[in-house]
Amino acid sequence: MESFEINKKTDKELVVDYLAGQEEAFPILLNRHLPSVYRLVFGLVLDKQVAEDVTQEVFIKAWKKIKSFKPEYSFKTWLFSIARNSAIDYLRQKKDIVFSEFDNEAGDNVIADTLADSEPLPDEAFQKLEEAGVLVDSLKKLLPLYREILILRYTNGLSLVEISSLLKRPLETVKSQHRRGLLHLKAFLTRI
């Protein structure tokens, strides 16, 4: 009965319990967030083995830093911040990404083309393409900036406000980058 009760607790309650000495609380947090953290990391590194290694590293870092978690914030956002930073650290070490291609603070990017059709893809089409594997191939073609926002939004279910908080970017910038990412993705998918 007690195990069932602890599974019903919020993330914040589990963190408080863990810090109070209830060791069983952290594995519940891990199991609760492992799939979404893995999806986020995989979406950024695009390599299954690397994503597994980075995801493991994320939870080790979270365990070591759990005392720094501030309960007034979302645990999921805090954990995703660790995951994102860990994936970016890996990519920087790999040096396959030119980080100067990212948008500036104003959201401008000379590489990004503005397409006339701004209609976003429906969630159903997104899931259907993901299952077919076509989406993963198309996501690989996107700039990491856009890929990250689309993965956070559609794979991990974060709102644009949560993404803004996680990425520490203004909400309007995130909205613009989300729209551009959808437009680029749509352009890639219509070529298939």
CA distance 116 to 101: 22
Per residue in 160-183, pLDDT (tens digit) is 999 999 999 999 999 999 999 999
In the prediction, which pLDDT does 163 show?
93
Residue 55: which pLDDT band, with cuts at 50, 70 and 90? very high
What are the structural domains, with CATH classification, of the chain? Answer: 2-94 (1.10.1740.10), 100-190 (1.10.10.10)
In the prediction, which pLDDT does 95 show?
59
Report yes or no: 70 and 135 within 8 Å, Cβ to Cβ. Answer: no
Report yes or no: 134 and 192 within 8 Å, Cβ to Cβ. Answer: yes
Per residue in 102-148, pLDDT (tens digit) is 455 555 543 333 333 344 444 555 555 555 566 677 788 888 889 99
